[in-house]
């Protein structure tokens, strides 16, 4: 069943709850990439323009039910106000009262990090439903637009959407369209580039994608589990021993299907997890006291060349610890290769999007920059996403 967008409802004068994804990287109280805030603007602007009042619900990081000050949405409220050029009322907790004239004035409010509430992410259905019922008092209509969180069965994503009449926002609409194209009939060769840190999360995804892609390129922290599966020693690099068997199955399946699965031939290593000058070593020469923090230059060139013939590319996860200036080159090389491709390029993931911007690339050099990391990957896997199911 097709999902309805906000355009299919008359929301003039309505009190709307908008679940947005404002989970931006913040360093020492400063937002280092506001991409997700900007991506949520079209829906917000439209709602306000038609005369709805809006209470925005969002999360930041993983406070696990604790009011961690460094994970407050306060800086996000400030930035949102700047971008919209209007006042954003900040609600410090779910008990907060809206001003009496809030709806009549078409007001805009942002609720504090919803994950300060342990019930938001609770495994217990009743606890989540309870929280959703409390949140429902903030409005009479629900708009789901937090694409980056739609794969989570959380109170503000799943249960709340079911209590109120609902629609999807423009961001969810465009994200789903792009991913549908990738899943449906991507132009071939179809390449997927995977990196990042969440090793075990992504290994599950690869098991599925291996059935669909022509070229699979591995970088980031997870590459070391692949190297270990091939019997190489990886020193102090990220490694998940319990995934070795899965990785071996992936390697075997890639071979069977004729998928071109590329692994690094060299990596850049450091002796500590810090921004120090690194050394380039071959993948079979990683020392016991060394950790791999980026792919090496030979690998970067190999990956760029393999990507040049692709017609569709999905990329999730930086190739290395791009936050360190000494370990950005792999990510830069892959990003650059994508900008040269004659075809559809999609970049997914909060850190990946932040990385390309931090490295000086412009959004319009890529076909589409998805705000979703895990959500995009699970969509590509063909999984049902709770936040989308609830909007049907
Ligand atoms: P995304 O948010 O785009 O989905 P992830 O959150 O999975 O990406 O991963 C991003 C993180 O992966 C970055 O913070 C980066 O520093 C880290 N990373 C990349 N390569 C390595 C590595 N070799 N060792 C440790 N961390 C890595
Ligand atoms: Mg991330």
The active-site residue, picked from 198, 257, 311, 357, is 198
Ligand nearest to C-alpha 354: 1
Atom in ligand 1 nearest the alpha carbon of residue 321: 16
In this predicted model, what pLDDT tens digit does every residue of 328-340 receive, in sequence order? 999 999 999 999 9
* DSSP character at residue 265: S
Phi, psi of 190, deg, nearest 5: -105, 120
Q: What is d(CA 206, CA 201) in angstroms, rounded to the nearest whole number?
A: 9
Tell me which residues of the chain have a pLDDT lower than 70: 1, 198
pLDDT for 1 equals 57
Token couple for 324: 């360190």
Length of the chain: 392
Q: Quick one: which atom of ligand 1 is closest to the CA of 324? A: 16
Q: Which residue from 338, 254, 255, 265 is spatially nearest to 295, judged by alpha carbons?
A: 265
Burial (CB count <10 Å: 0-12, 13-18, 19+), residue 277: exposed
Scanning 185-290, the segments in alpha helix (DSSP H) are 199-209, 223-229, 244-257
Task: Give, as one character, the DSSP assignment of residue 371.
Answer: S
Instruction: Evaluate whether 292 touches 269 at the Cβ level (below 8 Å).
Output: yes
* Choice among 278, 350, 373, 387 that is catalytic: 350
CB 337 within 8 A of CB 219: no
Choose the residue to mutate in 147, 275, 278, 351 for probing ligand 1, maximizing ligand atoms within 8 Å of C-beta: 351
What integer pLDDT is reported at residue 168 of this predicted model? Answer: 98
Active site residue 372: no
pLDDT for the residue 350? 86
Q: At what angle do helices 329-339 and 297-307 cross, to 10 degrees?
A: 20
Annotated active-site residue 383? The verdict is no
The CA-CA-CA angle for residues 248, 301, 182, to 5°, reads 60
> Is the distance from the beta carbon of residue 221 to the nearest atom of ligand 1 less than 6 Å?
yes
Asked whether 338 and 313 are in contact (CB, 8 A), the reply is: yes
Task: Verify whether ligand 1 is closer than 6 Å to residue 386 (CB atom).
Answer: no
Is 36 among the catalytic positions?
Answer: yes
- Sequence-distant (6+) residues with CB within 8 A of 130 are 119
DSSP symbol at 328: -
pTM score of the predicted model = 0.89
The CA distance from 171 to 41, in Å, is 9
Separation between Cα atoms, residue 195 and residue 201, nearest integer Å: 11
Whether residue 202 lies in the annotated active site: no
At residue 197, the pLDDT reads 84
Is the backbone peptide bond immediately before 261 cis, with ω within 30 degrees of 0? Answer: no
Atom of ligand 1 nearest to the CA of 348: 3
Report the C-alpha gap between 255 and 215 in whole angstroms.
12
Q: Is 296 in the pocket of ligand 1 (CB under 6 A)?
A: no
The per-residue pLDDT for 297 is 98
Measured CA to CA, the distance from residue 150 to residue 220 in angstroms comes to 25
């Amino acid at each position: 069943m097709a999902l309805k967008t906000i355009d299919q409802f008359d929301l003039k004068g309505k009190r709307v709850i908008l679940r947005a994804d404002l989970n931006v990287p913040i360093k020492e109280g400063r937002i280092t990439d506001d991409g997700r805030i900007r991506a949520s603007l079209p829906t917000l602007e439209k709602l306000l323009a038609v005369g709805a009042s809006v209470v925005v619900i969002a999360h930041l990081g993983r406070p696990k039910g604790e009011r961690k000050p460094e994970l407050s949405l306060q800086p996000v409220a400030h930035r949102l106000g700047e971008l919209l050029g209007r006042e954003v009322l900040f609600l410090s907790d779910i008990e907060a009262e809206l001003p009496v004239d809030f709806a009549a004035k078409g007001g805009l409010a942002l609720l504090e990090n919803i994950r300060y509430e342990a019930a938001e992410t609770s495994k217990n259905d009743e606890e989540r439903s309870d929280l959703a019922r409390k949140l429902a008092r903030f409005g009479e209509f629900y708009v789901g637009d937090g694409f980056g969180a739609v794969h989570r069965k959380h109170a503000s994503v799943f249960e709340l959407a079911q209590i109120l009449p609902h629609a999807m926002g423009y961001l969810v609409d465009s994200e789903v369209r792009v991913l549908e194209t990738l899943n449906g009939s991507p132009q071939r060769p179809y390449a997927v580039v995977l990196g990042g840190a969440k090793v075990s999360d992504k290994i599950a995804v690869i098991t599925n994608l291996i059935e669909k892609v022509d070229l699979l390129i591995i970088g980031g922290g997870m590459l070391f589990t692949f190297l270990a599966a091939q019997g190489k020693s990886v020193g102090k690099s990220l490694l998940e021993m319990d995934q070795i068997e899965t990785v071996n199955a992936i390697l075997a399946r890639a071979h069977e299907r004729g998928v071109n699965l590329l692994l690094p031939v060299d990596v850049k290593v450091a002796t500590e997890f810090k921004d120090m000058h690194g050394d380039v070593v071959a993948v079979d020469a990683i020392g016991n006291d060394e950790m791999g923090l980026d792919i090496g230059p030979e690998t970067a060139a190999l990956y760029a060349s393999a990507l040049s013939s692709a017609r569709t590319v999905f990329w999730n996860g930086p190739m290395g610890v791009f936050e360190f200036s000494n370990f950005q080159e792999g990510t830069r090389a892959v990003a650059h290769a994508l900008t040269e491709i004659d075809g559809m390029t999609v970049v997914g993931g909060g850190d990946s999007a932040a990385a390309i911007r931090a490295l000086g690339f412009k959004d319009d050099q890529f076909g589409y920059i998805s705000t979703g990391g895990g959500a995009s990957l699970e969509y590509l896997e063909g999984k049902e996403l709770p936040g989308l199911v609830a909007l049907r």
